[in-house]
Amino acid sequence: MLLPAPRVLAAAAVVLALTGCTGPTTDDAPTPSATAPTTSSGIPAELVGFYEQEVDWDGCGDGFDCAKVEVPIDYANPEAGSLELDLVRLRARDAQGSLLLNPGGPGGSGVEYAQFARVVLTDDVVDAYDVVGFDPRGVVGSEPVDCVEDRELDAIFAADGTPDTPEEVAELEAISERFGSGCQSRSPAIAPFMDTESAARDMDIIRAVLGEEQLDYLGKSYGTYLGAQYAELFPQRVGRMVLDGVLPSSLDSDELTLGQAKAFDVALRRFVADCIEQEDCPLPRDLEAGVARIQGFLADLDANPIPGVGDRQLTEALGTYAILSYLYFPPSDWDVLRFGLDAAFQGDGSVLMDMMDDRIQRNADGTFANNGNEAFYAVSCLDRPGVGGTDHAAALAERWAAEAPVFGPYLAWGTLPCWQWPMGAGTAQAAGEPPVFRAPGSAPILVVSTTYDMATPHEWGVQVAGELDNATLLTYDGDGHTAYTSGSRCIDAAVDAYLLRGELPAEGTVCVPDVAAGSEE
């Protein structure tokens, strides 16, 4: 299986192969080239029309306004053409400014996320800010990239993610090649320009057309990388920026993927430890035996898939994906996962398959609700092209089996598509080591990180907070991916104090879930 990225609305799910674009400029001007003539405001002359455009907002239901913002397709050649980004806004009665949101992915719809503003933000923040969401270039309503037919996505998800034979390896290679070439042939206008640096430059145009001198921003998961890229490009434009569930720019794709594999294995063990305390747990009442039961179940699916939904069978890849994607948001995910495993252990794979379909937003008729699964790799493979092919993936799978026995091999093979990506690197990609985003001279940035976050491990939060020139780390000592509005009043209060009043938490602040004793250490 080659798309290890559950489309989870709340936080953007697994983020693999996502090191940053290399070599961004750190001055304040949105400069596509070092020699471009600029105006007195520092805006390159060829971008003035984009920065000074007027936006028409129209009501689009439930108190929201919608609009389109025009941005250049290629910042290195702004006159070559433009595209329109979808925006949505929820106005506050007495706004202190605009708060731009990104839920992650890459490929998550910021428009859809902002439409849940009253859920993903506290009431105080919704009352204080005009909440703005946008679909990044190539995503959903913003010139959506299209790479394969929906029926082929089914085949991609079901393909053997831990190949044991030359035939299975060849199938993965073929799928990887078809996916990249499909993006290139079906979406030639947008696919080559979906890199994160371009999306960050788009955000500065959005900031300008909103009439804001600085960008106030909440990014989750991959949205933290997008925010950090913005801060690196435009440090003097940073306002109040919250990065929740952070992705380092300075790790290469193998380091990122291994970090996630190990964190997912830890998350699975924590799920099992919780499960064996519940009456409805279908696992043996022992931690090691419980983990082994799940491993054995997945291994059995490799040779003997079980009935799923309709004529679809639950394969090892689909079973692995379903389990992985329901480790994100305990306790709700864990309750559902216990139920799905119980049915699957009895030979009924339909529950796990329905769970997986929900996470990838697959409809019952075989269509997909959006293009998030395709946009994931269209962005990722431009940001960081793959560094090795089949032999490299096989070597990683063997090595990672010792460090992350359950998910290591599966995620190692998921690195293949970017190795065969036909469109090369994004606008800022360069040879050499991944960059370190420092955003020198920026306003304070609040980094939020969860101790048992499986998609963006806590050590990444520590690392990014240390790499940024002016950042404070806020830790959530709990489970799940991202922390804000996820079950800790301590976290919510700290983030709100920063967004509303610019007050940062004390260095070293650690919050715990509300259900635990106390709310702060």
Active site residues: 221, 453, 481
Residues 403 and 258: their CA atoms lie apart, in Å, by 8
Per-residue tokens: 383:
């940001």
Q: Are 397 and 261 in contact (CB under 8 A)?
A: no
Q: Are 162 and 301 in contact (CB under 8 A)?
A: no
Residues 9 and 20: their CA atoms lie apart, in Å, by 22
Residues 14 and 168: their CA atoms lie apart, in Å, by 24
Residues 213 and 215: their CA atoms lie apart, in Å, by 7
Length of the chain: 521
Q: Are 46 and 80 in contact (CB under 8 A)?
A: no
SS (H, E, C) 397-449: HHHHHHHCCCCHHHHHHCCHHHHCCCCCCCCCCCCCCCCCCCCCCCCCEEEEE
Give Cβ neighbours of residue 193 (< 8 Å, ≥ 6 apart).
Answer: 73, 74, 137, 138, 426, 427
Backbone phi and psi for residue 290, each to the nearest 5 degrees, phi listed first: -65, -45
Give Cβ neighbours of residue 465 (< 8 Å, ≥ 6 apart).
Answer: 246, 447, 449, 471, 472, 473
CA-nearest of 69, 70, 77 to 44 is 77
Backbone phi and psi for residue 499, each to the nearest 5 degrees, phi listed first: -65, -40
Q: Which residue has the tokens 């703005």?
A: 132
Give Cβ neighbours of residue 303 (< 8 Å, ≥ 6 apart).
Answer: none
Angle, helices 287-303/253-275, rounded to nearest 10 degrees: 120
Residues 6 and 3: their CA atoms lie apart, in Å, by 8
What is the secondary structure of 273-311 as a DSSP string?
HHHTTSTT--S-SSHHHHHHHHHHHHHHHHHS-EE-STT
